[in-house]
Structure 1
Amino acid sequence: MMSPFKGSQAQKQRMSRMSVFIKGPLEIPSPTETDWPKDDEKDFVFLDIDRELDSLPQPYRMINKVLNQLFDQSWEVIEEREALREIEKNRVLPTIYPPVTEIQINQMPGGMAVSQDYLFIGGAKGFSIYNLENFKRIYVWEKFKVDVVSIWATDLGNEVLIVPVDEMGIVRFFYLYKDSLFLIKAINEMDDVTKQSTCLKMEFSQGGDYAAFLLQGAGEIWLEVYKLPKETWLKEAEFPQLGPSQKKKTKQVPTTPDVAPLEGMETGLRPSLSPYTVQELNISFKSDIKFTQPVLIMKIKPPKAIAGTTFKSPLEIFSKIEDYYGLGSGQNHFIKDAQWEQHVEIFYASYKKYLEREGDEEPLSMPTFHFICTNTLATMPMDARSSSGGAWILGIHWTGNHNFFLYPLNKTLKEKTDCENVWPCAAPIVVSQISSFSSFLALACEDGVLILWDMAQGFLFGVIALPEGCFCQSIHFLKFFLVHEGRNMYPESSVKSEVMCVVLCTDASLHLVTASGTKGPTSKVLLERSMSHAEEDVCKVAPVPALPGMVLIFSKNHSVRLMDVATAKIICAFAAPVSYPPEMPWAPLFIVSPHHPYFLLYGAHPDDTDATTSTDDYSDSPHSVFYFKFEEYPLLKDLPQNCTISQKDLECNQAFSQMLSLEKRCEQFLQKSFQKLLNTQVKGHDHWTRLRRHSIFLQKENLKK
């Protein structure tokens, strides 16, 4: 008798597995439902297929589970790659534009700065000056002992103040007046090298009224603030006082294009290292002309740790403290020595295993400082005010500190350096930024909270928390713009109490934070971190003032893109013929013009770009500064022109007119609030005076007893 099941062994196994779910012999049911057998459901037994596999003996059962897990993981990888491949097919790459002009230089620049129509590049033992109209080098100063590592330049009206810093950390002031260059002063140069201090950072106030330098030396760090006599410098440059050493005639530098000046002459040109011939000379150096020196008005050191007080009672504190400012802000705490020692003992006992680390030295506290010009934060005498009528204040926060300090700049070095106000925060401040013309201030804490202040009006916009896991890396203010007829445009008249800023987080995500006087801050994600393209993570961001609502995004893969923050879309990209090893981290050196539609980007293009090229080989490669002008590109040709919207168009637009009328109502409300604030300050001072008098009276009564 032949078996009813014919076929391969695999077919027999499949049929045997099917028998698990079938009761009784295999039969073909009749086409009529009424003839089907009436079996009870309880007679059917459903068994899981995997139960047969679980009944396999070891090690076959474990081998089966490992193979199944491997298959599932492989399938997930295949599905993920397929999804990424599909995304790549639908991905639209932006249009890439090359640079308009290339300025060749002989080595990697030690910083770049732009002022008026001049480009200043730090280099070997000095700096160079280029004319941005024809992109020609017009002057070279190379009389330092070491190379320049950074350089700053600021406008002083029609003049330019140039401040290079060399490898030894020495700061020097150069004054560019018309076609003359003057050396004013070396700030921290010392004859004794052991007493030499090093400049780590510097800032200038808007218009060049003040300058601040962060200096380090002998294991300490401090901040020096100078007042710059720019009006006096202008008079001294126009009518120089010639000294006895200047009566000697100086050699004249030939101006013939084909004749190169000799080394060591007045211009300081070095033709041997110049990659091209200098065709015209506009600037000449004038030495031994005496200028009025910058005035040191303030020296600020890191805040001291809270220590115990020698006061014996609160009555003694109230009677001897003349000023009530700062109480409750974390600065003027009065704690007895015994209480403070007990608190320190408890703290060290609780965190002993974290605090005792051999070889770890406590790092120096580094400050971030800004010059703030405002009419509302403090009352200053007329000699401390700027040309715009506002008072200059220096705002500082130190690493690991919760407080933002405000120092008035109407002090002299002989007076005691005290902060005018202290703004405490709930967490240590990690990033701070001030907008142009000191209109707005942003403070970012280490817990991801962002605090926005309106410095012009003197009130708090609000507090906003960044998304979970996002911590602020940098803040960049944007000039307020409106979207009109599909284009980003600046209002022709000034708009108050409207702030926009772009926040770059440590996870490479980009956020747009907006706030107004009537609304709390809101956050919008512009760019998330790319999970599939880690090389496109953002490392730097720079606003473009000439293009409303536009920012430049610098990525780790050495790409530069232009984003419209209103739509969160990439408009185009910019590429320079630059090659770097993939493993080399990119710290882009660039300058965005604050007034004109262009930006400059430094790059090196080595001759050998294969994978075996080492990082050291790039020091001898050709170097260039690439010039990108937005008006030269088709997609951006019309953007820089007519980028303002008139008051008439604002009033015709219903949405904008509502905003303007609301602004007027807010302005009236703020004026009333300021008046109430002044009255409150007067009352507070009166209460403090009465409290002091009462404390002195009670203290005298206690002495009589």
Structure 2
Amino acid sequence: MPVYIRKNVNFTPPSLDKIPLEDEDDYITDPDQLKDPLPQPYRMIDKVLGQLVEDVWNIVESRENERLEESRKVRPPRHENTKSLEYLRKCGCMTDSGDGLYMFIGHSKGIIVIDANTQEKVTLWEEDRVDLQYIRAHIIAPNVYLLVSIDDMGFSRLHAFSGDKLYLLKHLNEHQEGTDKMIISKCKASKEGDYLGVVFENPESRDIWLEIHKLPRENWVTELDNIKAKLQKKEEPKQEVKEVKEEESTETAEPAEGTDGEKSESQSQIQQTQSNEDTAGVKFSQPSLVFKLKPPPQVSALESRGNLASSVYSTCQKVDTGEVIGTGQNHVLSTTQIELRKEVFDHLHENLLEYASKDDTVDNIQDVNFHFLNAGKMIPLGLENPANLTIPTTVAVWWKDNETKPDMVWPFTAKITSSAVSDETSLMIIGLVDGNIVLWDRYLGIQRGVINISDNSCIEKLLFLDPSICPQEMTEYPPYSTRTTSYLLVQCRNGAMYAVLMGAGGTQAEPICLSPQIEESGEIFSKVETIRGLPDLILTVLQNGNVQIRDVLQGKVLCEMKVPDTHEIMSPWDPVVAIGNTGQTLYLRVIEREPAETDETTTDASTPQGTVLVYPLNTFNTLETFFNRKRDSIPLSVHTTVDKRVDALMKERIAMQALRKDRMQERWNCFKEEIWTILQYKEQAARKAEERDVYSPGSLGWTPLFK
């Protein structure tokens, strides 16, 4: 059979040495690899979709872990409200009277005063286009209260509440034609209403300044007494006529059912309008301006301003004596010299000027903080008269920069972020931006300690806690108290909260952590306040809307306020909440929730209606032990005078008189033994002296020393 072989083909059989060995892993485990790789741009789309699926899965996994952790947490008990005050739908602020008798509510048309126990209206003051956003109450006399309020337009008013009536004392910044409109951003009175600090702002020129006014408190009290006496005389005949008419109406016919509430409400409104008409034209004594304080010039403005003095001698006359720290305004550098220095600097660093920050606009509005302080040894004005120790004599002010030419300056190593003063103003805490706090004893004029709270956050808020919750250190000597042991509550900007022990020997170095650093923004505290009458508890409001009552020493959440599902807290970052009736009742402002889906045909531009919920704290089981616990009032600062010290030492000596007699008797009994011991020592010494050998020159042998 013929075989056909192709021409010009060289066939070389494979060599056994060149055959590759079989690999055990030489197979495809993933069936998807059998397919060819995708071309661009589909390969990029596949990669993006794969990364997206992986990110979504990570988010789902993290949320599931958070839900598991949240479900494992121990939930504090939640309590519902027992009453809803519908007539306070447009409440903007509220405050306690200080003695637990009344609650002052600021709403969209004025002020409403309610009874703290029954939540019933007492009186009201109304005015058109007055939406109050800030209100504070001060007791200036028995059953006489001073109210300081600010509305949403920046107008501030002073009211007095006495005899179940409200009186308008002063409109602080009433706008007049032909003058610039001035708004008030901050208004705060001293504890007993002796002085008033007002921060004015000019929106057009962006100027800001602080004014301190002396309030005629005693004159107001006497004027209110006279007004009440006149009103009482006018109401006596009206009351008699009213009683006669009521007797005749009860004899003729019986009232219909269901109309008692309407009649009582209408009668109360008529009485309130009549009281407002009676007090409308009353004129009161006016406050007097003590001084006006402007903010210091900024450093950038001082750097570009030279000295306009004609000679060096006139410049040196303006320089201070060095007792206070200034801002560098008084110097001998002229404007030409400062401009020449700037040109030289720009020429040397021309290549780096493009990276320098350029501040085109400078905001002149600065936040000012101030505290009224009583007399102390740091500024001893008023110490010579013991009757004036409770009256403020000094104002502590801090701006973004130091104030010029004050009576005294406290220099600090960092910027001030917060400050607090005790009730008697003898202690003062300063919080710094570097996380340190500085405690000053103003009365003694000494610094009690510097503590580092946090290294990565600044101090946000400072509070003095009641010293009755802290065990007091007992000293054997001296017999009188020197200092009080207490706690300071410190809140940092990162959400952490600490309690710092302020001992008798100074502050402790280790603060107690009540709440760790918070990572989620919704868990950060938006409001932290102490509760009057319950020193062991504090009120906290979180930015997510939770209102909590906590143990101040342990940081444990004892209970939460439950809000109805149809409502939510109004502005959780600045909540409207207050505690009245000496810690027994909590008032919370809520608004209706907006529906998730709104119909276009039924849209309404009106603001959601709200109400004020009332929570009786004294009925909560978790707070029962704190209400039953009795605490003795302890002053935060103890200042023992020389007379008190002498009296304490004399009482101690008199109390130890019987002990001294026993000690004297024991001492006289010990004298006999001591005398007998001394005589024995003398006899023994004489006996040894007699037994001792006596040497003479004749009895000694001859030596070269004796001649």
Report the Cα distance in structure 1 between the residues aligned to 2:212 and 2:395, rounded to whole angstroms: 9
1:458-537 mapped onto 2 (5 Å cutoff): 458-482=445-469, 496=483, 498-516=485-503, 517-531=505-519, 535-537=522-524
- Other-structure match for 1:200: 185
- Other-structure match for 1:452: 439
C-alpha contact 2:102 2:581 (8 A) present in aligned 1? no
Larger radius of gyration: 2
C-alpha contact 2:494 2:517 (8 A) present in aligned 1? yes
Report the Cα distance in structure 2 between the residues aligned to 1:422 and 1:300, rounded to whole angstroms: 15
TM superposition shift of 1:603: 1.4
TM superposition shift of 1:567: 2.0
TM superposition shift of 1:296: 0.9
The runs of 5 or more residues in structure 2 that have no matched partner are 1-20, 28-35, 247-260, 473-479, 646-707
Report the Cα distance in structure 2 between the residues aligned to 1:266 and 1:646, rounded to whole angstroms: 41
Residue 261 to residue 594, structure 1, CA distance change in 2 (3 Å): closer
Report the Cα distance in structure 1 between the residues aligned to 2:570 and 2:210, rounded to whole angstroms: 37
C-alpha contact 2:434 2:455 (8 A) present in aligned 1? no
- Other-structure match for 2:323: 325
TM superposition shift of 1:593: 4.4
TM superposition shift of 1:65: 12
- Other-structure match for 1:395: 396
Report the Cα distance in structure 1 between the residues aligned to 2:111 and 2:524, rounded to whole angstroms: 33
Q: 2:159 aligns with which of 160, 170, 174?
A: 174
Q: 2:324 is paired with a residue of what secondary structure?
A: coil
TM superposition shift of 1:633: 0.8
TM superposition shift of 1:94: 0.6
- Other-structure match for 1:694: none
TM superposition shift of 1:547: 2.4
Is residue 120 of structure 2 the alignment partner of residue 136 of structure 1? yes
Q: 2:272 aligns with which of 267, 271, 286?
A: 267
Residue 211 to residue 331, structure 1, CA distance change in 2 (3 Å): farther
How many residue pairs match? The answer is: 567
- The letter for the 2-side match of 1:138 is V
Q: Deviations over 1:332-379 (max 9, x none)?
A: 764533665566668887766554355x34241221111122422212
Report the Cα distance in structure 2 between the residues aligned to 1:382 and 1:537, rounded to whole angstroms: 43
Is residue 380 of structure 2 the alignment partner of residue 375 of structure 1? no
C-alpha contact 1:126 1:147 (8 A) present in aligned 2? yes
Report the Cα distance in structure 2 between the residues aligned to 1:236 and 1:456, rounded to whole angstroms: 35
C-alpha contact 1:129 1:139 (8 A) present in aligned 2? yes
Is residue 79 of structure 2 the alignment partner of residue 97 of structure 1? yes
C-alpha contact 2:158 2:169 (8 A) present in aligned 1? yes
Q: Deviations over 1:385-429 (max 9, x none)?
A: 87544552111111x32x378xxxxxxxxxxxx521111222322
Q: 1:300 aligns with which of 289, 293, 313?
A: 293
TM superposition shift of 1:640: 2.6
Identity of counterpart residues, as a percentage? Answer: 23
Q: 2:69 is paired with a residue of what secondary structure?
A: helix
C-alpha contact 2:124 2:166 (8 A) present in aligned 1? no
- Other-structure match for 1:152: 136
Is residue 213 of structure 2 the alignment partner of residue 226 of structure 1? yes
Q: 1:239 is paired with a residue of what secondary structure?
A: helix
C-alpha contact 1:221 1:301 (8 A) present in aligned 2? yes
C-alpha contact 2:426 2:442 (8 A) present in aligned 1? yes
Is residue 341 of structure 2 the alignment partner of residue 356 of structure 1? no
Residue 481 to residue 265, structure 1, CA distance change in 2 (3 Å): closer
Q: 1:642 aligns with which of 626, 629, 635?
A: 629
- The letter for the 1-side match of 2:369 is T
- Other-structure match for 2:416: 429
Residue 155 to residue 578, structure 1, CA distance change in 2 (3 Å): farther
Q: Deviations over 1:640-667 (max 9, x none)?
A: 33332599xxxxxxxxxxxx99x99xx9
- Other-structure match for 1:572: 559
Report the Cα distance in structure 2 between the residues aligned to 1:333 and 1:634, rounded to whole angstroms: 65
TM superposition shift of 1:180: 3.8
Report the Cα distance in structure 2 between the residues aligned to 1:120 and 1:613, rounded to whole angstroms: 39
Residue 168 to residue 346, structure 1, CA distance change in 2 (3 Å): farther
Report the Cα distance in structure 2 between the residues aligned to 1:640 and 1:164, rounded to whole angstroms: 32
1:39-118 mapped onto 2 (5 Å cutoff): 84=66, 86-115=68-97, 116=99, 117-118=101-102
Residue 535 to residue 238, structure 1, CA distance change in 2 (3 Å): closer
Q: 2:111 aligns with which of 127, 137, 140?
A: 127
TM superposition shift of 1:134: 1.3
Q: Which moved more, 1:259-268 or 1:543-552?
A: 259-268
Q: Deviations over 1:475-496 (max 9, x none)?
A: 23322344679xxxxxxx9983
Report the Cα distance in structure 2 between the residues aligned to 1:90 and 1:513, rounded to whole angstroms: 31
Q: Which moved more, 1:309-318 or 1:389-398?
A: 309-318
The runs of 5 or more residues in structure 1 that have no matched partner are 1-12, 20-56, 270-280, 406-417, 486-492, 648-659, 669-705
Query: Over aligned residue pairs, what C-alpha RMSD do you find?
Result: 4.9
Report the Cα distance in structure 2 between the residues aligned to 1:100 and 1:644, rounded to whole angstroms: 28
C-alpha contact 1:380 1:391 (8 A) present in aligned 2? no
TM superposition shift of 1:113: 2.2
TM superposition shift of 1:611: 5.5
Residue 389 to residue 351, structure 1, CA distance change in 2 (3 Å): farther
Report the Cα distance in structure 2 between the residues aligned to 1:121 and 1:583, rounded to whole angstroms: 16
- Other-structure match for 1:365: 366
Report the Cα distance in structure 1 between the residues aligned to 2:599 and 2:435, rounded to whole angstroms: 41
Normalising by structure 2, we get a TM-score of 0.67
